[in-house]
């Protein structure tokens, strides 16, 4: 075990109670931790480069503040954290963006990245994964053995971080959400005890892990279903850029392809409204991405319609599943995997595009990003994943509450000057209002992994009263002191 410290230089030192704790923790660490933690574990304090690496985040806005990062190497190491009577938070990919993380003050980060083993079962039907793995690590390791499962789109996102809220990914049309593939989770509960959550063991906790899992435990390892890569494994990906006058035709075309909201398994689409002044200096443009599982000839059923709308540009590629993030701009090298943004997202799940409402939303986004240049890096995300595999799982069998949300919509308001936060918030709320007015339900359904602030617990965990009642009962049972209260808390 390694202990590094430059605590006295830390800006945290001005916080007297924290300072006292820091000294105590450091002394404690130096004197005792080496007897408690495993040889490969390490403790880092503010001022060291590794502490900075461990605590650096995608989202700067409302980010948690840490006194120390404990790099755990075994399940037993995780159990150390609850002994210090300080808040603790598991971190894997560091992409958590919800505003409630800002309530985490001067606690301990359980840096879980070293829990990164991958063992494929002999029957090839499941794999046991470490709780700290990232999406790409899982995709690549399985692919090397001719296997795959649903993983997140961005290479750098934590597999477990995504799973705990459901976990959307390209393969969900066939296999369901990442969470739908969870077989069992090995967890450390708030009191430091270990247990397993599965159909056979603590089935109620197992249910909660799949959609509301951030509220209950640290997951040290888990077993997930995996599948053989099919013989024909190529994906066609086409990217188009359209000027804003094509918005209505584009959304109508997408609606036509999605059979009353039921999107085919092989067809996925994303529309991003972004600022691209070289193409249109006055309005956001529409960057539309189409993904089709199959050959170029088969994809032409879809691509011909989009090509006929005369985009400003077209790029086309055929790749296999692990290469999709590279072509799609979601790889470790791309902007989505860089750190240090201040971001407010306003997610809303919709059944289909209401073209009139979407035009209003587009115009609000265009207006705010034009009026406030500090919001210029913002983009408006419309994700169309197939839900076929998701709906194959009984809705009541997981805590993921929204099997009808075919489209994951979210203006992603990015700013660098805190003075822009209010403008970002105004824009996001105005967009919510028009999209909700145009939706087929009066309720806001917001994907927990995309929320920032402003959603109610019902918006996040479901409007059916039994869902929240069940979750709250489980909180009383598994986490009565509400230790896990920093990521979209249920209470």
Q: Which residues bind ligand FAD (CB under 6 A)?
A: 58, 89-97, 112, 131, 152-154, 157-158, 160-162, 164-165, 167-169, 214, 218-219, 336, 449, 487
**Pick 113 or 283: Cβ nearer ligand FAD:** 113
**Pick 112 or 241: Cβ nearer ligand FAD:** 112
**Pick 97 or 286: Cβ nearer ligand FAD:** 97
Chain centroid to Cα 172, Å, comes to 15
Minimum CB separation from ligand FAD for residue 286, in Å? 20
Take residue 268 and report the two structure tokens written for it: 């996925």
Minimum CB separation from ligand FAD for residue 471, in Å? 15
Minimum CB separation from ligand FAD for residue 384, in Å? 13
Place of tokens 């640290």: 218
Minimum CB separation from ligand FAD for residue 102, in Å? 12
Minimum CB separation from ligand FAD for residue 167, in Å? 5
**Pick 114 or 283: Cβ nearer ligand FAD:** 114
CB 449 within 8 A of CB 166: yes
Minimum CB separation from ligand FAD for residue 465, in Å? 25
Minimum CB separation from ligand FAD for residue 182, in Å? 12
Instruction: Name the CA radius of gyration of the chain, rounded.
Output: 23
Cα–Cα dist 84/98, whole Å: 25
**Pick 68 or 97: Cβ nearer ligand FAD:** 97
Minimum CB separation from ligand FAD for residue 58, in Å? 5
Beta bridge partners of 227: 148
Cα–Cα dist 380/366, whole Å: 10
Minimum CB separation from ligand FAD for residue 357, in Å? 24
**Pick 218 or 226: Cβ nearer ligand FAD:** 218
460-474 burial, b at 16+ Cβ within 10 Å, e below that, comes to bbbbeeebbebbeeb
**Pick 29 or 160: Cβ nearer ligand FAD:** 160
Minimum CB separation from ligand FAD for residue 407, in Å? 14
Please state, in angstroms and as integers, the Cα–Cα distance from residue 202 to each residue in 46, 193, 196, 288, 324, following that order: 38, 14, 7, 43, 37
Minimum CB separation from ligand FAD for residue 37, in Å? 17
**Pick 92 or 269: Cβ nearer ligand FAD:** 92
Question: CA dihedral in degrees (64, 421, 213, 440; nearest 10)?
Answer: 180
**Pick 171 or 435: Cβ nearer ligand FAD:** 171
Minimum CB separation from ligand FAD for residue 86, in Å? 16
**Pick 127 or 434: Cβ nearer ligand FAD:** 127
**Pick 45 or 111: Cβ nearer ligand FAD:** 111
**Pick 136 or 358: Cβ nearer ligand FAD:** 136
**Pick 158 or 311: Cβ nearer ligand FAD:** 158
Give the closest residue to 379 by CA, choosing from 334, 346, 417, 353: 346
Minimum CB separation from ligand FAD for residue 31, in Å? 28
């Amino acid at each position: 075990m390694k202990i590094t410290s430059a605590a006295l230089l830390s800006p945290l030192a001005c916080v007297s109670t924290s300072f006292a704790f820091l000294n105590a923790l450091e002394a404690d660490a130096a004197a005792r931790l080496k007897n408690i933690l495993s040889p490969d574990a390490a403790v880092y304090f503010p001022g060291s480069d590794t502490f900075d690496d461990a605590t650096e985040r995608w989202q700067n806005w409302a980010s948690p503040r840490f006194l120390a990062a404990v790099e755990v190497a075994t399940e037993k190491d995780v159990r150390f954290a609850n002994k210090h009577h300080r808040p603790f938070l598991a971190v894997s990919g560091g992409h958590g963006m919800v505003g409630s993380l800002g309530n985490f003050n001067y606690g301990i980060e359980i840096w879980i990245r070293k829990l990164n083993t991958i063992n494929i079962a002999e029957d090839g039907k499941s794999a046991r994964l470490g709780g700290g793995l990232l999406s790409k690590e899982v995709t690549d390791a399985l692919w090397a053995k001719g296997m795959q499962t649903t993983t997140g789109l961005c290479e750098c996102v934590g597999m477990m971080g995504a799973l705990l809220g459901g976990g959307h990914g390209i393969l969900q049309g066939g296999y369901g959400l990442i969470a739908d593939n969870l077989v069992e989770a090995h967890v450390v509960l708030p009191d430091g005890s270990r247990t397993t959550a599965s159909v056979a063991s603590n089935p109620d906790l197992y249910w909660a892990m799949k959609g509301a899992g951030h509220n209950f435990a640290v997951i040290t390892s888990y077993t997930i279903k995996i599948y053989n890569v099919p013989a024909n494994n190529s994906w066609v990906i086409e990217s188009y850029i359209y000027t804003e006058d094509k918005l209505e035709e584009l959304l109508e075309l997408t609606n036509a392809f999605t059979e009353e909201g039921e999107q085919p398994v092989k067809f996925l689409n994303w529309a991003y409204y972004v600022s691209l002044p070289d193409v249109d200096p006055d309005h956001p443009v529409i960057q539309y991405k189409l993904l089709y599982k199959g050959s170029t000839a088969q994809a032409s059923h879809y691509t011909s319609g989009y090509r006929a709308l005369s985009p400003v540009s077209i790029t086309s590629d055929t790749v296999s599943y692990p290469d999709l993030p590279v072509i799609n701009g979601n790889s470790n090298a791309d902007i989505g995997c860089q750190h240090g943004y201040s971001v407010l997202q306003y997610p809303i799940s919709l059944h289909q595009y209401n073209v009139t409402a979407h035009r209003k939303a587009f115009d609000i986004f265009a207006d705010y990003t034009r009026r406030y240049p500090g919001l210029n890096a913002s983009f408006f995300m419309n994700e169309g994943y197939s839900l076929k595999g998701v709906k194959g799982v009984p809705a009541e069998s997981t805590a993921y509450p929204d099997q009808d949300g075919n489209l994951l919509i979210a203006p992603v308001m990015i700013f660098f000057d805190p003075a822009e936060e209010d403008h970002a918030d105004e824009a996001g709320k105005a967009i919510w209002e028009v999209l909700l007015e145009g939706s087929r339900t009066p309720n806001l359904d917001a994907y927990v992994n995309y929320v920032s602030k402003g959603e109610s617990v019902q918006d996040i965990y479901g409007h059916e009263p039994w869902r929240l009642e069940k979750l709250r009962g489980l909180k009383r049972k598994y986490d009565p002191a509400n230790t896990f209260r920093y990521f979209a808390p249920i209470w």
